[in-house]
Structure 1
């Protein structure tokens, strides 16, 4: 009845809804001045500008087909990546919940059917009868967003969605770095195993020679025992390296989402074992400052700030009256002859205001503000830690590159020393101790050379990880098997489709209001 008499009420309410204000602060990025112009002499020394290989797939710099296959397998099956993708889907659904707050809600609906029986007696005339009563009622409420409560909630959910995307990209960065580091740890250990076996063979021959000389009385037992000690010491390192290789393969299996077992990606080309490359420069497509701010974990930290900031407005909205348009529809009828059917329509505004909260709302605002400040500090710490990681990795790479030439020359000198020591010993100008010392030095220098090569590769991987490289994958958020399982349980609509936002775009520097919302929840 009210709507019929006042037809302008609904347009007026819509105008009020569209013209509402937003209480609480608007999100402002918290970049520190140094982060936008930061540079590092160490990073500049070990990097070169370029677009190839793409920093999103930086491992192509090694030109290793085995590593490429491992990365593809990790993208498709790694459990952490699957969970991160599902959290993006969860954030999309949470955004859909926030968007629903803008629209009218059915607060209550009921329907009832009552059966009634009666018996009337009038003298000798007794009558009985039965009839049904029907009722249907519905109440609808539409809270006008005068203070921006729902708008701020949507703003927060929107930022949380982009934070979930950034967290998935950060998981990609971490997994790709772990796969590459574990792979080259495996290759380094294989190379060390080869060195140990080679030196064990050399030392075994020396031990056999001293055995013969001791039995013939041409040398004393000291040479024999020293040769035996050195040979057995080197031989004992072989099971350690074999165990480390097995553990590295197990770690790769887990990163690839498999139980420990065979690795067809490696076993198909056994000739590539024990290859530890030396890459002297990383290829970066941007300056270090921009790369740091583009790191997925940095962007996730900024989006977490952007998600927390609107919650202050959501809390502040409780300080003001809540204005809603409410309406109800009630219909009743009866099967009793002559009984009228009734239809009642009621509508009007409703105002609720919690004036006596004893500081509860005010303190909730303070809680949200404190959480925002925590997010700001966490973001700033994340940027500083990113800069430290990049500088540390570059510094370690420089040291490894400098040691590489020195250790290669040292290995050559140790090999030459062993040749000379064997020659002098056979000619009788030296004792066997010098041969043992030369063998020990050669084994140590060869091992140090390979270990340093492995450290150089690890430092290069750490540098790419520190600048946020490897955040891209062609694998979907939800693989077909999981999609089928989830759709069998629940109607997901189009929320399991890929988001429309470009996962490569640095969305962290945009305001939440300017970001593109995913298609699924906004429909």
Structure 2
């Protein structure tokens, strides 16, 4: 008989050892509305209905629920109905043919007694797997919502950067006119004209990659929405008009209990513990109770003068030798449980790291945006003063071009800093599990 391996199948959630949820924050389920972007709200709501990953995750929840119902069927006995009718012709050697027929109908019932709790463990495993699929569905929805928000902010930033690049082209065209005028009056050289022409062409060329990225981002949003990219159109908003909500992370226990991926890992660990117990019960004898009742007659298709019968049986089954199959199945279950326990710990540590990183990025990007706004103010003032000074002939063309370049870079950097701050806020929402709560 295979030897039963030793296994410890108990565990405690890690957050039992962390601080309690004092000062925990509440995040609205529709957290994306905090940015006060009507277009973003519409995009997220559509994605929650039509995104392929969301639909796939929902179907997996249905499959897990059906598997749980299959496991729960072990609570009930199995009933079977059988009926048969037939005829046989026989002829003894040297005799004549004779016909004989028979008809029977019977009802049978069997039930496996859950002596050691193995079936109950299977039901617990199925329930935990179902809960894991529900949490996985929530994790997918959170990921898609965050993905839509990030893509939308990217789109608005690219729109703003494209507008800034076009304005920079207009400034280059204005400077080109100034250089041409000075050249005609003998106050500028042909080299100055060529330098500014090169600058103008460079600014016009800088528009092309921005327009390409804008189209690619629009197509990415269409994919998230479950739409065909070619004909997909988006409304417009100003990225500077979006509100950036203030968030605090709360204590560690608050962080890890509000994330669906942590709940998934815990549910999977519970299922693996139940699977270990169910596998170990295979070493123990099984008890099955069965009963039957029926009628049979020697006449074809007739039960008028039938023989009635009833019976029951109680059977005990014990596996003596299986070539190590049962023992190795237990070891596989135990190894799987150890794997999931380490995965559980890893998910918790990752949750804490992601929250800490997101908090730091929110704080840093806010400071960077404020600093960049001051840089832009000074760059705008410098460009205006140098344009006037160039007309007066007190500075050379290169100084003016440097001022224009600094102004353009300051404008472009401000938009990118705004985008970085918005994305950091989305990442913080995601790190905190959005508005989801483990019930």
- Give TM-score, length-normalised by structure 2: 0.90
Give the Å deviation of 1:105: 1.9
Give the Å deviation of 1:396: 1.1
Report the secondary structure of 1:292's partner residue: helix
Distance 1:306 1:247 in 2: 43
Which residue matches 1:184?
Answer: 153
Q: Is the 8 A contact 2:375 2:410 kept in 1?
A: yes
Q: How many residues align?
A: 433
Distance 1:227 1:305 in 2: 67
Q: 1:437 aligns with which of 383, 402, 421?
A: 402
Q: 2:40 aligns with which of 59, 62, 67?
A: 67
CA offsets per residue over residues 341-395 of structure 1, 9 Å max, x none? 3222221210111111233222211111111111111011001101111111111
Which residue matches 1:499?
Answer: none
Q: 2:273 aligns with which of 309, 313, 329?
A: 309
Q: Is the 8 A contact 2:35 2:245 kept in 1?
A: no
Which residue matches 1:195?
Answer: 164
CA offsets per residue over residues 143-194 of structure 1, 9 Å max, x none? 1000111100000011111111111111111011001111011111111111
- 1:169 matches 2:134: no
Distance 2:225 2:268 in 1: 29
Give the Å deviation of 1:127: 8.7
Q: Is the 8 A contact 1:187 1:276 kept in 2?
A: no
Runs of 5+ unmatched residues, structure 2:
1-5
CA offsets per residue over residues 303-340 of structure 1, 9 Å max, x none? 00011110011101110111111233353212289996
Residues 38, 215 of structure 1: alpha-carbon distance in 2 compared, 3 angstrom cutoff: farther
Q: 1:391 aligns with which of 339, 356, 359?
A: 356
CA offsets per residue over residues 261-285 of structure 1, 9 Å max, x none? 4556x43xx4x2454635262267x
Distance 1:129 1:381 in 2: 78
Runs of 5+ unmatched residues, structure 1:
1-22, 40-47, 472-503, 508-523
Q: Is the 8 A contact 2:294 2:309 kept in 1?
A: yes
Equivalent residue runs for 1:436-515 within 5 Å: 436-471=401-436, 504=437, 506-507=438-439
Q: Is the 8 A contact 1:308 1:371 kept in 2?
A: yes
Distance 1:371 1:27 in 2: 14
Which residue matches 2:11?
Answer: 28
Distance 2:219 2:163 in 1: 20
Q: Is the 8 A contact 1:278 1:453 kept in 2?
A: no
Residues 243, 275 of structure 1: alpha-carbon distance in 2 compared, 3 angstrom cutoff: farther
Give the Å deviation of 1:135: 2.3
- Give TM-score, length-normalised by structure 1: 0.76
Which residue matches 1:147?
Answer: 116
Distance 1:424 1:466 in 2: 52
Q: 2:53 aligns with which of 80, 87, 91?
A: 80
Distance 1:33 1:115 in 2: 72
Residues 420, 130 of structure 1: alpha-carbon distance in 2 compared, 3 angstrom cutoff: same
Distance 2:12 2:145 in 1: 29
Q: Is the 8 A contact 1:27 1:310 kept in 2?
A: no
Distance 2:36 2:380 in 1: 31
Residues 339, 279 of structure 1: alpha-carbon distance in 2 compared, 3 angstrom cutoff: closer
- 1:367 matches 2:346: no
Q: Is the 8 A contact 1:276 1:453 kept in 2?
A: no
Report the secondary structure of 2:188's partner residue: coil
Q: 2:199 aligns with which of 210, 220, 230?
A: 230
- 1:423 matches 2:406: no
Which residue matches 1:332?
Answer: 296
Q: Is the 8 A contact 2:114 2:120 kept in 1?
A: yes
Moved more, 205-214 or 81-90: 205-214
Q: Is the 8 A contact 1:78 1:256 kept in 2?
A: yes
Give the Å deviation of 1:215: 5.0
CA offsets per residue over residues 212-264 of structure 1, 9 Å max, x none? 43355432232122212222222112121111111111111111111114556
Report the secondary structure of 1:56's partner residue: coil
Report the secondary structure of 2:45's partner residue: helix
Which residue matches 1:407?
Answer: 372
Moved more, 145-154 or 28-37: 28-37
Distance 2:17 2:413 in 1: 39
Equivalent residue runs for 1:6-21 within 5 Å: none
Residues 225, 338 of structure 1: alpha-carbon distance in 2 compared, 3 angstrom cutoff: closer
Report the secondary structure of 1:281's partner residue: coil
Distance 2:316 2:92 in 1: 49
